[in-house]
Amino acid sequence: MGDAGLAGVEVGLSREEAATTAAVRSALEAGRAMRIVYYTAGRDAVSQRTIDPMRLLIVEGRSYLEAWCRRAEAVRLFRLDRVEDVEVLAEPAAPPPDAEPTDVSDGLFRPSAEHRSAVLLLEREARWVAEYYPVDEVVELPGERLQVLLRYADPAWLVRLVLGLGGGARLIEPPDLAAEVGRRAQEALAAARA
């Protein structure tokens, strides 16, 4: 969106996301750095970052802040609905001159050689996974179920995803992670019974 995004219309944002968007716009207009508390879903972790905002984007229906992250020393995209707290700082934003904007023309997810593939069986109530996450293959099955080929970088993230879906998903491949899901589910059941 670039500068044109500053005049955009907000539709259907939560109160928290609207406040975050307003703070980001204020920082961009004033050329100020920001401190954010950010939830990273892939690692299931919250971190505090000092960032130099570059632009607001809407990609695949989601709002993102593109910024220079001082901790990572790289350009990062921060999903606004995952920003838990935001503070506009008095200091000027100063992304390095060689900080390149992210090419989002083909979407955000760029499969790479280090990404592995998993086969998931999704029940009707979990079909949304195939729309929310990038998948390489989708096979329609009887009973409104889907079998999908999903790429992932972090095995722990994949295990958390499947466990979080309860009985709505079953991990078919890779077998070692399917076994880990089973082991963790059994531990949870045992703890619930105790």
Give, in order, the Cα–Cα distances in Å from 80 to each of 63, 83, 105, 162, 182: 6, 5, 19, 24, 34
Which of 76, 92, 108 corresponds to the end of one domain?
A: 92
| Domain shared by 78 and 122, yes or no | no
φ, ψ of residue 9 to 5 degrees: the values are -105, 135
Q: Is residue 109 one of the residues assigned to a domain?
A: no
For the chain, 194 residues long, give each residue's pLDDT as a single digit of tens. Answer: 444 444 444 445 677 778 888 999 999 999 999 999 998 866 678 999 999 999 998 877 788 899 999 999 999 989 898 899 999 999 999 999 999 888 777 666 665 667 788 999 999 999 988 887 778 889 999 999 999 998 887 888 889 889 988 889 999 999 999 999 999 989 888 888 88
Residue 102 within any structural domain of the chain: no
pLDDT at residue number 111: 58
> Tell me, what's the pLDDT at 1?
40
Residue 108 belongs to some domain of the structure: no
Residue 107's pLDDT is what? 63
**Cβ-count burial of 194 within 10 angstroms (0-12 exposed, 13-18 middle, 19+ buried)?**
exposed
Domain membership flag for residue 103: no
Question: How far apart are alpha carbons 149 and 135 in whole angstroms?
Answer: 6
Structural domain containing residue 21 = 2-92
The total of structural domains in the chain comes to 2
Core vs surface per residue 4-26: b (16+ CB within 10 A) or e: eeeeeeeeeeeeebeebbebbbe
Question: What is the model's pLDDT at position 5?
Answer: 42
Question: What's 151's domain CATH number?
Answer: 3.30.70
Q: Give the pLDDT score at 172.
A: 93
| Same domain? 186 vs 124 | yes
Same domain? 83 vs 8: yes
In a domain, 182, yes or no: yes
Would you say residue 10 lies in a domain?
yes
pLDDT of residue 101: 87
Domain match, 45 and 125 both? no
* Domain closes at, from 57, 92, 127: 92
Phi, psi of 136, rounded to the nearest 5 degrees: -90, -35
> Pick from 92, 108, 133: which residue ends a domain?
92
Residues 6+ apart with CB under 8 A from 137: 147, 148, 149
The C-alpha atoms of residue 183 and residue 82 are separated, in whole angstroms, by 30
Residue 68: give its domain's CATH number.
2.30.30
